[in-house]
Structure 1
C-alpha cells in the first residue's frame, strides 16, 4: 500500500493550529520555567533562526531574480510598462483599502464609550511623516553596497534595474554574466526549498511563542477594535482584492486563494512582508505560472510599497482613537488619513511592527494624541500577523494581473492544482551528488 505524502502546506497549517493551542495553554499556565526557558528560550531561538533564514534569502534572491527578469524582458519600454502598471495598481488598492476601512469603522463605531482607566500611555513617541520629495529621492542609493547590506529594498530594486538595463545595452558581451545570474537564481530557489523544509517547525515555534506571550485576555478591552479591524481585513482580502483580480485579469479567485495559501501562512507567522518574499515569489511563479520577468519586479516592489493590510489598520485605528477622545475629524481629516497612509506605505519597510510607526505619522498629521496607540499596543502583534497576510495577497494579485495583461502568465500552470507542489521536496539527486563528489576529489 502506497501512502500519499502529506503536502508541505498541510504540514504548516497543522503546525500553526498546534502552535495556537499550545500557546494559549502556556499563557494560562503562567509558569516562570515555561516563559523563561521554553517560550522565551527554545521556541524564541528556533523561531528567530527560521525568520533569519528567510531574510537571509531576500537580498540575493531579489538581485539575481530581478537581473534575470530585466534581461528576460529585453525591452526597456516593456519594463517601464510593467513598472507603471504595478505602481498604479499598488497605489489604487492601498487607497481603496483604507477608504473601506474608514467606512466600516464609521459604521461600526469602535471606541465609543471606551474608558482610559488602567492604560499606560507612557513611552509612545511620534514619528515625523516623510515628504513626498524625500520618499522619491531616497529611492536612489548613494552607496549601493550599503543599500544591499541594510536591505533597503527600494534602493536595491532601483540599482538592480539600472544594472540590468546596462547589461542589456552591452548586448552579447553580457551573455556569460546573464548565464551566471540565471544559475545563481536557480541556486537561490533551491535554498528556498531547503529553508521551507523546516517551515513546519519554524511556524510552530513562532505561533506558540506569540500566543503564549499575548494570550486572549488582551483582546477583551479593545474587542470592538479587534473585530472591526479583522472584519475589514478579511473583507478586503476575500472580496475587494478578488473582485479586482477578476475584473482586470479574468482569473479564478478561488484558484488564486488556493495557490497563494502557503505565502499567506508564512506572512501570518513572520508578520514580515520582506521575509515572505521568497515564498511569495515561489507561489506566483511555480504555482500560478507568472513569468519571472514580471514576478521578480512586482513581488519585491509590492513588499516595499504595497501595504493594504497596514493601511486598513491605520483607518480603523484612527476612527477608534477619534471615538475614544471624542474628536470629529470630518471629511477633510479622513481624506488626509488616506493620503498619509498611501504616502507612508511607499516610504516604509515591510518589517514587523511597521504599522505602529506609520500610525504615529498619521495621528500626528490629523491632530490625534499619539499616546492613544497604547490602547492597541497589546493586540498589535496578532493584528500585524493578519494584515501582513493581506499585504502579500495584494502583492500577488497585482503580480497576477500584470503578468496576465502582459501575456506573461501560463494559464495551464495557473489552472493546474498540482503545479509547484512537487517542489515541496528537496529533490536531492544521488547520481548528481556522486558526480559532483567525483569532480571535487583530487586526481
Structure 2
C-alpha cells in the first residue's frame, strides 16, 4: 500500500521522537554527536523553508488585496461579503489571542513535560526572537518602516505587512492597464514560491525526522504527550469557530439550526476527506441552493470566501504561535499579542486554500515573527497538522455558507433565505 506524503511526515515525526527518546536514555558517547548531526540536517531543511516566507507573504498579500478590491467593484454583494470577511477575521484573531492562553491555564501541560520539552528545544534562540518585540513608544514608530529593504533583511514582519498592504491598496487605484502587469508579476511570484515549498516539503520526512530526533533526545518520552496536548488545544479553537458558524447562520441568515445542519452534511463530508475548501466549493454551492440562497448571491460570495476568507485561520494560527511561546516559556506582552492579531487578520487574505502542510509555515511564521516567537518548532508541528487541519477546513466551509446566507439576507437580490419553519 502506498503511503501518502502526509502520513510519511507523521511517521517520520513518530520515528524521530521514538529514536530520540531511546537515545535520551543512553550515554552521551554517541547521543551528543547524533544530536548535532540531526540538528544540522534539520536546521538546513528548516532554513530552506524559512527563506520562502517573506516573498510568499508579499506576493500572496498583494494578490489577495488586489483580487478582493476587484471583486468588490463588481457590486454590492461582493462589497458586503468583504465587510463580513473583515469583521469575522478580526474577531477570529482576537478570539485566538484570548482563548488559547485561557485554555493553557485551564488545561496546562504538566510542568515536567514542559521543562523536558524546553530542554529538547534548547537550541532555539528564543531570546533573540523575544527581543524583536519593541516597547510601547518603539512599537508605535515601528509600524511604519523607514526602509522597507532593511525591514525585509531584519525580518520585521509587521513592517513588511503594513508596507505590502499599503502598496496593494495603492495598486488597486491604478488604471487597469497599469495595475494588471504588476498584479500578474506577484501572482507568478507567489506560484513560484509555492513550487519551491512543494520541493522542500518533498524532503519533509528527512527534515522532520532529524528535528524530532533532536527534540526527543532532549525531552525523552514527554515529547509525545506535549505534541498530543498541542493537537487537542489547537483543534479546540477550530471547533469553537465551527460552532460560531451555526450562530452566524441562525442570527445572520435566520436559518433554523436543524435545517442548516442538514444542508451542511455533504460539504462537511468533503471537507473532512479533502481538507480543502476549494474542493468543497461544489458541495457548498449545493448547500446554498438547498437553503434557498439565490444563485446571484451564492455565485459571488462563496467563490470569494474560498479565495479570501478562512474564518478559522486567525484564531488557530494565533493559537499555534501562543502555544509555541508557552512551550519555550516566552512571556507575551499585550503589544506582542496586538502585533500578532494585526498580522493574523491581514495575512489571512493571502492564505492559500490548500491542505494544511503546504501553507502551515507560510501562514503562521509571519504571526510568530511579529510576536517575537521562534518559528523553528513549526517544522515539527507541521507533521501533526493533519488533525487540526480537519477542523480548520470544517470551520471554514461551514462559516463560508453561513456568511453567504447572512450576506444574501441583506442583499437587494431576490432570495428565499430563511424559511420560518424547520
1 CA distance for matches of 2:398 and 2:9?
28
Tell me which residue corresponds to 2:46. Answer: 51
Tell me which residue corresponds to 1:6. Answer: 3
Gaps (5+ residues) in structure 2? 74-78, 113-125, 247-260, 282-302, 344-363, 405-422
Q: 1:319-338 maps to which residues of 2 (within 5 A)?
A: none
1:35 counterpart = 2:27:
no
- Whether the 8 Å contact between 1:311 and 1:342 is mirrored in structure 2 is no
1:200 counterpart = 2:205:
yes
- Whether the 8 Å contact between 1:93 and 1:308 is mirrored in structure 2 is no
- Whether the 8 Å contact between 2:270 and 2:279 is mirrored in structure 1 is no
- Whether the 8 Å contact between 1:68 and 1:292 is mirrored in structure 2 is no
Tell me which residue corresponds to 1:264. Answer: none
Tell me which residue corresponds to 2:242. Answer: 245
Q: 1:121-140 maps to which residues of 2 (within 5 A)?
A: 135=139, 137-140=141-144
For residues 242-299 of structure 1, give each alpha carbon's deviation from its aligned partner in whole angstroms, at most 9, with x where no partner exists. Answer: 1322432677778767656xxxxxxxxxxxxxxxxxxxxxx6667999644446x996
Q: 1:44-443 maps to which residues of 2 (within 5 A)?
A: 44-74=39-69, 75=72, 82-104=85-107, 135=139, 137-172=141-176, 173-216=178-221, 233-248=230-245, 291-294=306-309, 306-307=318-319, 310=322, 343-347=335-339, 393=388, 396=392
Q: Deviation of residue 138 (structure 1)?
A: 2.8
| Alignment length (residue pairs) | 312
Q: Deviation of residue 207 (structure 1)?
A: 0.8
Q: Deviation of residue 40 (structure 1)?
A: 0.4
Q: Deviation of residue 313 (structure 1)?
A: 7.1
- Whether the 8 Å contact between 2:13 and 2:209 is mirrored in structure 1 is yes
Closer/same/farther in 2, CA of residues 65 and 149 from structure 1, 3 Å limit: same
Closer/same/farther in 2, CA of residues 302 and 239 from structure 1, 3 Å limit: closer
For residues 402-435 of structure 1, give each alpha carbon's deviation from its aligned partner in whole angstroms, at most 9, with x where no partner exists. Answer: 755665xxxxxxxxxxxxxxxxxxxxxxxxxxxx
- Whether the 8 Å contact between 2:212 and 2:380 is mirrored in structure 1 is no
Which one is further off, 69-78 or 188-197? 69-78
Tell me which residue corresponds to 1:20. Answer: 17
1 CA distance for matches of 2:382 and 2:204?
20
Q: Deviation of residue 387 (structure 1)?
A: 11
Closer/same/farther in 2, CA of residues 11 and 384 from structure 1, 3 Å limit: closer
- Whether the 8 Å contact between 2:23 and 2:217 is mirrored in structure 1 is yes
Q: Secondary structure at the match of 2:3?
A: coil
1 CA distance for matches of 2:333 and 2:212?
28
Q: Deviation of residue 347 (structure 1)?
A: 3.6
Tell me which residue corresponds to 2:118. Answer: none
For residues 31-53 of structure 1, give each alpha carbon's deviation from its aligned partner in whole angstroms, at most 9, with x where no partner exists. Answer: 424422x3202x22210111011
- Whether the 8 Å contact between 1:68 and 1:178 is mirrored in structure 2 is yes
TM-score by length of 2: 0.57
1 CA distance for matches of 2:383 and 2:7?
20
Q: Secondary structure at the match of 1:29?
A: coil
TM-score by length of 1: 0.55
Q: Deviation of residue 23 (structure 1)?
A: 1.5
2 CA distance for matches of 1:128 and 1:147?
12
2 CA distance for matches of 1:150 and 1:286?
37
For residues 130-179 of structure 1, give each alpha carbon's deviation from its aligned partner in whole angstroms, at most 9, with x where no partner exists. Answer: 66665455332222112222222222221111111111100211111112
- Whether the 8 Å contact between 1:67 and 1:160 is mirrored in structure 2 is yes
Q: Secondary structure at the match of 1:170?
A: coil
2 CA distance for matches of 1:193 and 1:44?
22
1 CA distance for matches of 2:171 and 2:157?
21
Tell me which residue corresponds to 1:418. Answer: none
Q: Deviation of residue 109 (structure 1)?
A: 10
For residues 59-117 of structure 1, give each alpha carbon's deviation from its aligned partner in whole angstroms, at most 9, with x where no partner exists. Answer: 11111111111111124966665344222211113212222333345xx9979xxxxxx
